[in-house]
Chains A and B, each alone.
Chain A
Amino acid sequence: MKPNDVILKSVTQVAAVIILTFSIYLFMNGHHHPGGGFIGGLSMASAIVLLYLSFGIEKVRENIRVDFKKLAAIGVLIAIGTGMAGVVFGQPFLTQAFGYRDLPIFGTTELASALIFDTGVALAVIGTAVNIILSISEDR
C-alpha cells in the first residue's frame, strides 16, 4: 500500500485523532454506558487501518513500533491472567471483583477488575484485526 492522496491524508490527520480519542472513550465508558473492550478495540483498529491506508505501511510502521501479533498474545494473556487472579484469592476462575475507592481528582470512583479483563479483550481485538489486515495487504 503506497497511496498518495492529499485529501485523504489531510482528513486522516484530523480524523485519526478523533477516532482514537473516541475509541478510548468507548473503551473506558463500557462499564456503565454503551462501549467496552470489543468496540473500543475494534474502533481503534479501524483508526490504525485508516492510517495505514492513507500513509502506507512503511511510514506507519516507523512511527508505531508495535508488533501486533505480540499485542494480541499479550491481550489474551492479560485476560487469562485476570481469571487466574480470582483463583489466587480462593474464588472460582474468572471471578471479577469491584469496589469503590476515594481517589484524588476523580473523587469516589468505581474500580473493577473487569476493566483489566476488558483491556485484554481490547488488546487482543486490536492486535488480531490489524495483524490480519496487514498480513493480507502485504501479500503481493
Chain B
Amino acid sequence: MTIFYTFIFLPLISAMLVPLLYKYLNRRVHTGWFVLLVPLSIFIYLLQYIPGVAAGNTYKYTLSWIPSLDMNFTSYVDGLSLLFGLLISGIGTLVIIYSIFYMSKVREALHSFYVYLLMFMGAMLGLVFSDHLLVLYGFWELTSVSSFLLISYWYERKSSRQGALKAMLITVLGGFGMLAGFIMLIMMADTYSIREMIANLDVIQGHTLFIPAMLCVLLGAFTKSAQFPFGIWLPDAMEAPTPVSSYLHSATMVKAGIYLVARMTPLFGGSSVWFWLVAGIGLVTLLYGSLTALRQTDLKAMLAYSTISQLGLIMCLLGIGSLAIYFGPGDSGTVFTVATFAALFHLFNHSTFKGSLFMVVGIIDHETGRRDIRYLGGLMQVMPITFTIALIGGLSMAGLPPFNGFLSKEMFFAAVNDVSQSGIFGLSNIGILFPIIAWVASIFTFVYCLIFVFKTFGGTYRPEKLTRKVHEAPWGMLFSPAILALLVILIFFFPNVLGKYILTPALTAILPTMPISPYDLKISPWHGPNMELLMTIGVIVIGFLLFKTMKRWIQVLRNYPQGLTLNHWYNQGLSGTEKLSASLTNRYMTGSLRHYLIYIFSFFVIVLLSSLLLQHGIQFDTSNDAVISIFDAGLVLGMVIAALTVLLAGNRIMAIAALGALGYMVSMFFVIFRAPDLALTQMVVETVTTVLFLLCFYHLPKLEKRIERVPFKLTNLIISIAMGLTVTLLALSANGHKLFEPISSFFENAYELAGAKNIVNAILVDFRGFDTMLEISVLAIAGLGVYVLVHQRSKRREQRETE
C-alpha cells in the first residue's frame, strides 16, 4: 500500500481508533483534538501535489482489490480531484476545530459523532480520487449513509430522524439511478475506468444508450447536489449539528453532484440534452432556492435554501461551460471555457463564504439559543467579531466587492450574457431568459443576504426574547470562520494565485481538449463599464429598495400555501406508498409458516421445472455411475425409514431422534464416498442441531392433530410431491450434462498454490476465502440477531410484569 492510499484511507482507519480514544482519554482531552490530526495531515500531504499538478502532471495509483474481476481502486490525482481533496481536508480541519468548541465533551456522544464524520471524510476522499466507476459508486453511497447517520445524530428528536430518512431516500434513489447509468456506460465502453471512457469517446457518443445513461447519471448528480425538484432534503438535513451542516451540507457532500457533472463533462458535454438539463435545471434551482430562502425565518433554513440556489448557480455555469466542447478550440470555445472556470471559482468561493456563514449561525444558536430572525436583532453590540465575519460572508454571497463572491458573480453574469447570444440549441429564441432569470435570482440573493446579516445583527437588541445571557463566542469557535472570512477577502485581492495553481489544473481535467491560455483566465475585479457591471448595480439598487420595503411584501411570501410546496407532495407520495405497500404485503404475509412454505416451494417448482422442460434439460446419463453396493442400498433404505418416521412420529422427541438418525446416515454416505471432512462436519452439525432442536421445541405447543380442509391438504400434497419430483429430476439431470469444464483440476494443485495437502480446507481458507469470510460474518450477525430478539422479548415481558 503506497503512502497515497495510506492517507486516503487514514480517516477510515482512524475511525476505528476513535471509540478507544473517547473511552480512555475524553475525560481529560476532547476527542476532537486527536481527530483534528487526520484532516490536517491529509491536507498537508495533498498540498505537495499542487506544484506537480499545476505543471500539468497527473499521478496514477492502483490498489489491487479483486484483480480477477477488474475491480481495482485506481486513482488519478488531477486538478479536479485535487481541488476537491483540498476542500475536503481543508474545510474538514476547520470544521473539526470548530466542533471541538461546539460539541460539549460532557453531554454529547462524541465517539459516534467523530466516527461518522471520519467515515464521511474517507468516503468523500475515496469518491473524488476514484477512477473506477463502481468503486466511485460505492463511496458515493457511503457518503449518503454517513450523511444519514450525522443528520440523525440527535436521534431522540423526531425531526432529526425524519430529515435523515428524507435525505437518505432521495439521495439513494439518485444513487441507484446513477448506478444504472454507470452500468450502461460500462456496457458501452467495455471498461470501468473513466479515463479510458474519455479516450473512447466515439464509441459512447454514437451509442443508443448515450442519452439514457446521461439521464441516469444526472439523476444521481441532481439528487446529491439538491437540484430542483430534489432539493427538499437539504433544508431538513439542517437538523444535524452545525459543524455537520457546514461541512457536509454546504462545503463538500452536496458538491459531489457538481463533481460528478464536472467529471462527466468530457463524456457528455457538447450535446444539447446535457446543456439544457444541466444549465436549465441549474438556473431553475438558482431561482427557486433564492426565492424560497427569502421566505425563511430560521437562519439555518435560509442558508440551506441559499446553498441550494448557489449549487444551482454552479451547475448552471457547468452546463454553459459544456458548450466549449461543442464549439471546440476558437473564440466561442474560449468564452465558454471561461464559464467552466467560473464554475470552479464559484465552487471554491462558495465553500469559503458559506462555510463561515454556517459557523456563524452555529455561534448564534450556541450563544443565544435561538435561530429565528423574528427573535434576534441587535447582536452587533454583543458579538462584534461574529458580526464582522457574518458581514464578510454575507456580502460576499450577495456579490459585493471587495469579496470573492463579487468576482465569481461577475463571471456568472458574463457567462449568461454570452450564452444568450450564442444562438445554438434553440437559444436564439429563449436564450434571453438566461440573463433575466440570473439577474432576478441575484436580486433575491442580495435581499436574503441583507436579511441574514441585518435582521440578526442590526436593529435593536432585545435580550428579553432570548433565553440565555448572550456574550461573544470563545476564540475556538471564532477561529475557523475567521480563517474562512480572511480567505474571502484574500481571494478578492489575489484571485490569480488560486486560479493559476488550483483552478486551472482542475479546468484542464474537465475540458482536456480545449487549449487553455493563462491570459483568458485572468480574473480581475474591474472590466470597465460593461453589461455585467450594470447588472450588478441594478441588483444592488433594486435589492436595497426591496430590503427597505420588506415589511410590505414578506408576508405574501410567507403565506404561500403549504399544499403547493414540494415538501407537501413528497409527504403525500411517501405516505401513499407506505399505505399501498402495507396493504399489498398484508395480503400474503399471513404469519403462517405453512403459507410461506407453499409460496417458496411453488415458486421453486414452477421456475425450475418449467426451465428444465423448456430447455430440454431432463437427460439421464448413467454411464459414469458407480456400482451400487449393498451398503448403499441399506443406507438408503434406512434413510427412507428415518424420514418417514419424522413425518409420522407422534411426539417431537421421537421426530428429533429420527431426524438425527437421518443426518448420521448421510454422514455415513460421506464416509463411503471418502469425504472425511464432510462426514466430520455433518456429524458435528447433526449433534449441535439436535441440541438446538430440543431447546426450541421446549417453546412449542404439544404436537396435535390439526383439522384442515380437504382442498388445503390436497394442495399441500400436490406441492410436496412436485417439490420432491423437481429435486430428484434436477439431481439426476445434473449428472447427464457436462456443460462446463470442471474446475476441480485447479484445486488439485492446492499443495503448490496454498501449501496445504487438504484440498477442502485450502478451498475454505484460501481459494474461496472471501466466501468464508462473508459466511462467518453472516453467521455472527445472525447469532447477534437471535440474541437481540430473545433478549428484547424477555425484557418486554419483564416490563409487562412490573407494570
Contact = CB atoms under 8 A, between A and B. Distances in A.
Nearest to A32: B757
B20 interface: no
A39 B680 contact: yes
B793 interface: yes
Contacts of B681: 38-39, 42
Nearest to A118: B765
A53 B691 contact: yes
A45 B687 CA distance: 10
B758 A32 contact: yes
Nearest to B676: A34
B418 interface: no
A32 B756 contact: yes
A46 B688 contact: yes
Contact of B770 (A72, A94, A121, A127): A94
B203 interface: no
Q: How big is chain A's contact interface, by range?
A: 35 or more
A127 B677 contact: no
A131 B787 contact: yes
Contacts of A73: 780
B680 A93 contact: no
B684 interface: yes
B684 A31 contact: no
Given A83-B769, A132-B782, 9 more contacts: A31-B761, A32-B756, A45-B688, A69-B784, A73-B780, A96-B754, A112-B755, A114-B766, A127-B780
Contacts of A31: 755-758, 761-762
B791 A135 contact: yes
A14 B779 CA distance: 30
A83 B688 CA distance: 29
Contact of B758 (A34, A110, A137, A138): A34
Nearest to B699: A139
Given A30-B758, A69-B784, A87 B63 contact: yes
A79 B772 contact: yes
Interface in A115-140: 117-118, 120-121, 124-125, 127-129, 131-133, 135-139
A39 B684 contact: yes
A139 B758 contact: no
Contacts of B760: 34, 36
B696 interface: yes
Given A34-B676, A37-B765, A80-B773, A72 B783 contact: yes
A76 interface: yes
A76 B777 contact: yes
B687 A26 contact: no
A33 B754 contact: no
A107 interface: no
A31 B760 CA distance: 9
Interface stretch (B64-72, B114-122, B525-533): B64-72
B680 A35 contact: yes
Nearest to B768: A94
A133 B694 CA distance: 10
A112 B756 contact: yes
Contacts of A138: 790, 794
Contacts of A118: 761, 764-765
A80 B772 CA distance: 10
Interface in B761-803: 761-762, 764-766, 769-770, 772-773, 776-777, 779-780, 782-784, 786-787, 790-791, 793-794
A132 B783 contact: yes
A98 interface: yes
B687 to A, nearest CB: 5
B775 to A, nearest CB: 9
Contact of A34 (B680, B776, B794): B680
Contacts of A127: 780, 783
Contacts of B696: 136
Instruction: Tell me if A's interface is mostly helix, strand, loop or mixed.
Output: helix
Contacts of A39: 677, 680-681, 684
Contacts of A87: 1, 63
B435 to A, nearest CB: 53
B783 A136 contact: no
B541 interface: no
Closest 8 interchain pairs by CB?
Answer: A128-B783, A98-B755, A32-B757, A34-B676, A124-B776, A36-B761, A72-B780, A114-B765
Interface string B672-698: 000011001100110110011001100
B764 A36 contact: yes
A32 B766 CA distance: 13
A90 interface: yes
A132 B786 contact: yes
Interface in B44-87: 63-67
Contact of B66 (A32, A92, A132, A136): A92
Interface centre among A36, A38, A137 (most CB of B within 10 A): A38
Contact of B692 (A75, A96, A136): A136
Given A90-B1, A96-B766, A127-B783, A36 B677 contact: yes
Contacts of B756: 31-32, 98, 112, 114
A76 B776 contact: yes
Interface of A: 26, 30-39, 42-43, 45-46, 49, 53, 69, 72-73, 75-76, 79-80, 83, 87-88, 90-94, 96, 98, 110, 112, 114, 117-118, 120-121, 124-125, 127-129, 131-133, 135-139
A139 B794 CA distance: 7
Interface string B489-514: 00000000000000000000000000
Interface string B746-759: 00000000111110
B695 A96 contact: no
Interface in B79-119: none
16 contacts: A30-B761, A35-B680, A36-B764, A79-B773, A79-B777, A90-B1, A92-B67, A117-B773, A120-B776, A124-B776, A135-B786, A135-B790, A136-B695, A136-B696, A137-B695, A139-B790
B692 to A, nearest CB: 6
Nearest to B794: A139
A92 B63 CA distance: 8
A35 B764 CA distance: 11
A33 B769 contact: no
A108 B777 CA distance: 34
A118 B780 CA distance: 15
Nearest to A34: B676
B786 A46 contact: no
Nearest to A49: B691
Interface in B414-444: none
A36 B754 CA distance: 14
Nearest to B687: A46
B65 A125 contact: no
B684 A46 contact: yes
Contacts of B783: 69, 72, 127-129, 131-132
A124 B779 contact: yes
A93 B66 contact: yes
Contacts of B780: 72-73, 75-76, 124, 127-128
Nearest to A53: B691
A128 to B, nearest CB: 4
B256 to A, nearest CB: 26
A117 B516 CA distance: 54
Contact of B757 (A33, A46, A128, A129): A33
Contact of B776 (A53, A125, A132): A125
Nearest to A89: B1
Contacts of B773: 76, 79-80, 83, 94, 117
Contacts of B66: 92-93
B597 to A, nearest CB: 22
Contact of A94 (B63, B688, B769, B777): B769
Contacts of B758: 30-36
A94 B696 CA distance: 37
Contacts of A26: 680
Interface centre among A76, A90, A92, A139 (most CB of B within 10 A): A139
Nearest to A131: B783
